[in-house]
Chains A and B, each alone.
Chain A
């Protein structure tokens, strides 16, 4: 089955540590996104990538970094510079074309990060 796999599902981190969240897709979608979800605040865009080896900052990129070395993978690193990293992180993909799937995001199941 095609889909998006996020790992780990739960992650605990001590203050000052960097952590990397994995996002892998086998949908053959060009575009990939990272969103952060906080209670009562909806989803906010962290980074996105429309093609391999290229990515752009979203609305809340400070304290995060990404890479896009392969079409299938878009890992997110939460660095120690992120002041309030405890949140639910969602990875999403989009076909990247202008057909019927245009602007339709497919989401992974999410990763919940807790800073101790």
Chain B
């Protein structure tokens, strides 16, 4: 079945450091790919998405490119801030299941120190 694997955390960085959180997927067909962010005690928020190969999603300085050849959707940011501290989830649309249902990775906790 479809699945998502993302790097285990926690990831601890200093402010202004470069961030990469790896995400790879297994899927049949052509799923859409997503990054969601969860701040402490809150629900998830959509950070960015890409719907087809070679698409680049971007938002708030974060970027991720849909790489079909490597089945990857790595999240990057050039200069992190303390306010970026959160848990980040990679997800894919499960077209084999209900429309709109997403399969999530286990999440990667990011802590940014001043």
B42 at the interface (CB under 8 A from A): yes
The reply to whether B101 and A48 contact each other, CB–CB distance below 8 Å, is yes
Q: Is there a chain A Cβ closer than 8 Å to B89's Cβ?
A: yes
B43–A103 touching, CB < 8 Å: no
Give Cα distance in the complex from A50 to B98, angstroms.
8
Q: State the 4 A-B residue pairs at the shortest beta-carbon distance, nearest first.
A: A107-B43, A94-B100, A103-B93, A42-B106
User: Which of A31, A102, A110 sits near B43, CB closer than 8 Å?
Assistant: A110
A89 to B72, CA, bound (A): 28
Residues of A within 8 A of B (CB): 4, 6, 31, 33, 40-43, 45, 48, 50, 56, 58, 90, 92, 94, 96, 98, 102-110
Q: Which residues of B contact A96 (CB under 8 A)?
A: 99-100
20 residue pairs from A and B, CB less than 8 Å apart: A31-B98, A31-B99, A42-B104, A43-B89, A45-B101, A50-B98, A90-B43, A90-B44, A92-B43, A94-B100, A102-B32, A102-B99, A102-B100, A103-B32, A105-B44, A105-B100, A107-B36, A108-B43, A109-B43, A110-B41
